[in-house]
Structure 1
Amino acid sequence: MTRTTWVLAVSLLVALIAPLAWGMVEWLRSRRHAPQAASTTTWQWKAVLGSMLLYVLAFNLTFFVQELFLVVPKALTPGLQPTLYHNNHGWEGEHPLAALFQGTGALATFVVGLLCLWAARRGAGRTPARRMALVWMAYCGLLMALPQVVIGALSGASDVGMAMDYLGLSLPAKTLAAGIALAAIPWVALSLRPPVLEVAEDVSSSATPATGAKRIFMLVTLPALLAVVAILPFRVPREWLEVVLLPVLVTVPGIAWMQAGAWRAKEAMPSVRGRWPLAGLLLATLALLVVFQWILRPGIAFH
């Protein structure tokens, strides 16, 4: 097998096969050890919709941060004239540092994601909306950056791949970077599990495998899958592969690991309660869509 085939095979294993297999094992183990246990979590569609809107906001804000930090370093470089768009960026002129600056966007989202993960793990966000806003910003920041390292190890034409080539990374170094990035995906997802499980939809919530799995599905898995569709209007017009592929790559691997790990929920007791400001979240989402399609879509030149 070639190096590319190995990296793709391991990526498929980490992104889908391993979390699905682990989730099935944990589900069967839970049923075998406590076949009569039932989840006390009640369905709250406000929580689903609120978390979905927060994911849409977090994803698009993270993407904006990425593109902004791809543009700003180029704007400060003599000879480069970048333009920021709603779903991309471009530039005119030439400079050797342009290739290096193709990696600054992923670096920026990674830093934002780490800061939000640190805050969420320390208990910041004392309402469901604030907690999930931190969780989703951490999720999108880190899981938008990590797959780019894998892609960069395979393609020198990608953003991170151009930065890797500028830095002179060898093929073994690129492969090692891809392996570290793949290993970090389940770590990020499982690190976000406790802050989510602290979000309670009612006062009767308890911490059991059944309630933990249902709470993750209600607050993470279902909202994120619904949000993938809601994100598409922010990204058009562009080639449909580019429109759809990024939301899927960011969304699916992380939520698969979070859902699989939800069956081990004993360590997280629900403590964050409150109302979901659906009207405000919907207005914020629509306002961001207006900014993307009416302001950023024509392009903002940094000349």
Structure 2
Amino acid sequence: MVAIATAVAIVLVAGPAVLAAAGLSGKSHQTSAATKPATKPDWDVALTINSALLYTIAFNLTFFIQELFLVLPKAMTPGLHPTLFHNNHSWNGDNPLAALFQGTGAVATVLTALACAALLRKTSSTPLRLFLIWMAYCGLFMALPQVVIGALSSGSDVGMAMDYLQLGATTKTIAALLALAVMPLAATWLARPLLALADNPARIATPGTRTRFMFQVATLPVILGTLLVIPFRVPREAIEVVLLPVLVGLIGIVWMQTGAWRLRVPAARGTGAASNLKLLLAVVALLLVFQLLLRPGIAF
């Protein structure tokens, strides 16, 4: 447990703090006259709003995928009768496999994340790339913390699956440390295509402009998107309504923001923002599905 706690402190606090300090140092922001942009590009407000709305959609779709794939294996298991809700699932009956199937939701979100990351290579549309990036982000950062929590708590979803597989304390600790090690790598991996969404090379030409653009395209949208996620999750206890969205948003974005200054992006590939009105309507429609259809529960 000490090893896991130390690694958590490094991943959540020490690592990003070191990156931020290096980024703020005078040397890291020194640029030559040839590379320094003549004027600071205007804030792309439309892209920031696009990103916040797309993050909201991606988070809730990823959570739905997680719960759906927690339910489906149980629905096909004799003796189990699961129900899917907007923010949870439950089941009646008994079967030893139920504990194992508590880990299938995390597996599903990771596979979804990898599929979306692969699709990034096949599209040039900025809104679609943003959606795929946030789907990949939510899929990974909704699953990886569950491995850490599972190593510490047998009552958690992944913890129950670990116990079913009879994983020992050492194996659980190794799994947790590996998950923690992957988090900054995943954040850095997704930060590059986020920076490439700039529609003007000047937005990402220097360490300072890359830091500024990352705040506009990712950090602020995740903060706003996390607030927008909360109505999808009520009513439920506050720790589930608020803590999960905050953790998913925080863990990866701190690495993206503090490390943006040092990343090199091949080219600015932005093609312009989508209609924010259409995206807002999509968010509202998804909220209605969650609250009117899923909230009462769908029995399988």
| Shared fold, TM over 0.5 | yes
Partner of 1:166: 164
- 1:242 corresponds, among 240, 243, 267, to 240
Give 2:3's aligned residue.
6
Q: Within the alignment, does 1:81 sit opposite 2:81 as a pair?
A: yes
Name the counterpart of 1:64. Answer: 64
CA displacement at 1:51 relative to structure 2: 0.2
Q: Distance in 2 between matches of 1:265 and 1:32?
A: 13
Q: Give the C-alpha shift of residue 199 in structure 1.
A: 0.7
Does structure 2 retain, via aligned residues, the 8 Å contact 1:41–1:214?
no
Higher mean alpha-carbon deviation, 107-116 vs 203-212, is at: 203-212
- 8 Å CA contact retained: 2:113, 2:137: yes
Separation in 1, partners of 2:7, 2:116: 28
1:160-214 alpha-carbon deviations (Å, 9 max, x no partner): 0000000010100000000000000001000011111111244754532122111
Aligned position for 1:106: 106
Q: Which residue of 2 aligns with 1:209?
A: 207
One-letter amino acid of the structure 1 residue matched with residue 45 of structure 2: W
Report if aligned partners of 1:66, 1:106 keep a CA contact under 8 Å in 2: yes
Q: Residue 254 of structure 2 aligns with which residue?
A: 256
Partners of 1:189 and 1:257 within 8 A in 2: yes
Structure 1: tracts of 5 or more residues without a match:
none
Structure 1 pair 93/47, CA: closer, same or farther in 2 (3 Å)? same
Most deviating of 30-39 and 79-88: 30-39
Taking the TM superposition and a 5 Å limit, the aligned residue runs for 1:120-269 are: 120=120, 122=121, 124-202=122-200, 205-269=203-267
Q: Do 1:44 and 1:201's aligned partners in 2 also have CA atoms closer than 8 Å?
A: no
Q: Which residue matches 2:30?
A: 33
Q: Which residues of 2 match residues 255-294 of structure 1 at below 5 A?
A: 255-294=253-292
Aligned to 2:19: 22
Q: Residues 76-131 of structure 1: CA distance to partner in whole angstroms, max 9, x if unpaired?
A: 001000000000000000001000000000000011011212332x3x33122111
**Alignment correspondent of 2:297:** 299
Unmatched 5+ residue regions in structure 2? none
Tell me the distance in 1 between the aligned counterparts of 2:51 and 2:163.
39
Q: SS of the residue aligned with 1:82?
A: strand
Q: For each residue in 1:234-286, what CA deviation from the matched residue of structure 2 results, as whole angstroms up to 9, or x when unmatched?
A: 00000001111101111111000011221023333201212322111101100
Q: What TM-score, normalized to structure 1?
A: 0.93
SS at 2:182 equivalent: helix
- Counterpart CA distance in 1 for 2:253 and 2:26 is 20
CA distance in 2, matches of 1:31, 1:184: 25
Greater shift, 261-270 or 92-101, is seen at 261-270
Once the 2 structures are TM-superposed, how far is the Cα of residue 28 of structure 1 from its aligned partner? Answer: 1.3
Identity of aligned residues (%): 50
Query: What letter corresponds to residue 9 of structure 2 in structure 1?
Result: L
